[in-house]
Amino acid sequence: MSTRASDLTARLLQLRDAIRHHEERYYVHSDPEISDAEFDALLHELERLEAEHPDLVTPDSPTQRVAGHPTAGFTTVEHLTAMLSLDNAYSDDELRAFDERVRKAAATGEAPVAYVAELKIDGLSIALTYEDGCLVRGATRGDGSRGEDVTANVRTIRAIPLRLRGGPGGRVEVRGEVYLPRASFERANRERETADLPLFANPRNAAAGTMRNLDPALVARRGLSAFTYQLVGDATPERAHHADTLRALRDWGLPVESHWRRCEDIDAVIAFCGEWAAARRALAFDTDGVVVKVDDLIVRERLGSTAKFPRWATAFKFPAEQATTVLRQIAVNVGRTGAVTPYAVLAPVVLAGSTISMATLHNAEDIARKDLREGDRVLIEKGGDVIPKVVKPILPHAAGSAPWQMPTVCPACGSTLRRDDEEVVWRCESTTCPARLRRGLEHFASRTAMNIEGLGESLIDALVGRQLVTDVADLYRLTGEQLEQLVVAPRDPKSERARPRKLGKVGRNVAEQIERSKQNDLSRLVYALGIRHVGEKAASTLARQFRTMDRMLDAPVEILTSVPEIGPVVAAAIRAFADEPRNRRLVADLTAGGVNMVSRAPEPSREPGRLTGRTYVITGTLASMSREAATAALERLGARVSGSVSRKTTAVIAGEEAGSKLEKARQLGLETLDEQAFLALIMET
């Protein structure tokens, strides 16, 4: 390399390092060291040199944060490990109860457990994947197992480094929260008001909507920021405490919210929560609580997780905020099962940073018990800062008001409403009710059901309104040409795309999604049909046990209740669904439309598997199969596959580039299997 080329390369590296340093000072630490003009001069010099020497441009250069054209859509990607939700605590007593559960499960006796308390950022969960220190992917939480690939948008967030500073090698996933600072939120709403566009309700909704925008340039202008708080993956360095992890993230140049505190016991946690209940209002971002995590990582492993929540963490939610407003109307909504639910239409009021114009009213009996009347001034609150509800009327009642009465007919189709003696819910029993059909189609197309991307409310309204779809089976009679030519009205007349429009290519994409959904596993279809009391887990169990739709629908109640985890209520609901001739015709129509009616999950064995009672952990990359296939092979033999190594682990299966899990297995003296030994294990007869 010539001296001139060497000097040029050195200058490019110097500029990139300097720009990243000043981005971190400005966007992460809010403590800039140079003026905006000086920063712009550095960036412009880098842009000029890279324009003159395009062969020297690197993916992690600051100039590459916003590049390319808007994307056509988001693909879904699988997370390294599941992104679980957090259980909630709403009082000091509930925090103490959480601490008692932790100490009991961790077998610490009377010794206190140390925690880390972090402010809970009110934003959008994000998973950042780095390979050898370079950002390669950003994904939303999605359903916890799979999320949307929003890498192009993540790269525009200047708080997130494109390359870690001295970070780990290999592949590592960093979890965090993307949020919209209050100043950026206020600026965005001023701009929308000037453009006569509807205002964002709150920073969290604005952040979520921004991250799902297909144009990275618009995302960059919106001014999102981020905080990180967790590491997962084989490349995660061995650390004894969560506090060490937060310090490491900060040292690598990642943004970490600075007010976290290590608390020696639950009393210190409660004091921290009390301090921030009011002080949070002075922050530059919204927070709705405190996340409390066990600090000792080995104790965390011992505690483990439920299907939904880690047992070693909880989210303390700040007390619900209250406000008063006028109850303008009590209206009702018709759900997919025909349940008719009342809700409150309110005079808009700002509560906990959101403009509230509607609230839940639960049911007619709750309205009667509280004696809520249209025109009343009412007290409302956000339960856990999330769902607004009407607490009570502020007496006296509005002049001329009268007790509210549940309507006797469905507002959508005019059918008579009915209520079972043992229920508080009124229902529309008409199977042709357009409101029921709309809600049923939304559920059928949802991500956890048939996962038909693009089949949203506006398109469903158009399909139902033009009578192109009268039940879910009609979806499989639609053609790409029909959907391309379909004219869809906007749901919000003030939206940026307010005029009715033909779907065009979007319609063709939806047709492809519908065609793809035909190959879904039977479990998704069982859940998508919306059988009362049958959730995702029950649908998966039923599909795996009965193997075909016909066998499940033909099974008597006695056989249904013999299935593990299927009780008499679920069994009766399945039988009621199967005994209805219209439902049988619907299943027949779906079959004729080419929808799969067979389970593709491994058939459950009545006998214990050869590996029953054993627990394995898979780390690294296997050349012969994916991790999913390896997991399925072990589970077919009765084994349990875990994501973490502990003393209860039978063996660790190590592929190429195995990381810290392999090292931990060796430290614990556990058996380790290379790929050849693993293949021999699952093929052994």
Active site residues: 120
Task: Show the CA angle centred on residue 273, arms to residues 268 and 278, nearest 5°.
Answer: 140
DSSP-derived letter for residue 26 is I
In terms of Cα–Cα distance, which of 344, 333, 536, 345 is closest to 425?
333
The CA dihedral of 225, 229, 232, 238, to the nearest 10 degrees, is 130
Half-sphere exposure (Cβ direction) of 491: Cα atoms closer than 13 Å: 6
Q: For strands 651-654 and 615-619, give the pairing.
A: parallel
CA distance 552 to 86: 34
Report d(CA 133, CA 156) in Å as an integer.
18
In whole angstroms, what is the distance from residue 364 CA to residue 366 CA? 5
CB atoms within 10 A of CB 8: 16
Q: Would you call 600 helix, strand, or coil by DSSP?
A: coil
Cβ contacts of residue 655 below 8 Å, gap of 6+?
618, 619, 620, 621, 622, 623, 675
* Rounded-to-integer distance, Cα 398 and Cα 366, Å: 19
The tokens for 571 are: 């069994």
Q: How far is CA 439 from CA 284, 415, 469, 512, 580, in A?
A: 39, 17, 13, 22, 20
Pick from 299, 313, 273: which is nearest to 88 by CA? Answer: 313
Do you know the residue count of the chain? 685
Cβ atoms of 301 and 644 within 8 Å: the answer is: yes
528 with 462: CB under 8 angstroms? no
Helix (H), strand (E) counts: the chain: 24, 24
Q: Which class for 273: exposed (0-12), middle (13-18), buried (19 or more C-beta within 10 A)? A: buried
Neighbour-count burial of 47, counting CB atoms closer than 10 A to its CB (0-12 exposed, 13-18 middle, 19+ buried): middle
The residue type at 446: S
Full DSSP string of 35-63: -HHHHHHHHHHHHHHHHH-GGG--TTSGG
307 SS3 class? coil
Q: Which two tokens stand for residue 548?
A: 């075909």
Separation of alpha carbons 48 and 362, rounded Å: 61
DSSP line for 190-255:
HHHHHTT-PPPS-HHHHHHHHHT-S-HHHHHHHT-EEEEEEEESTTPPP-SBHHHHHHHHHHTT--
Grouping H, G, I as helix, E, B as strand and the rest as coil, residue 96 is helix
DSSP 182-200: HHHHHHHHHHHHHTT-PPP
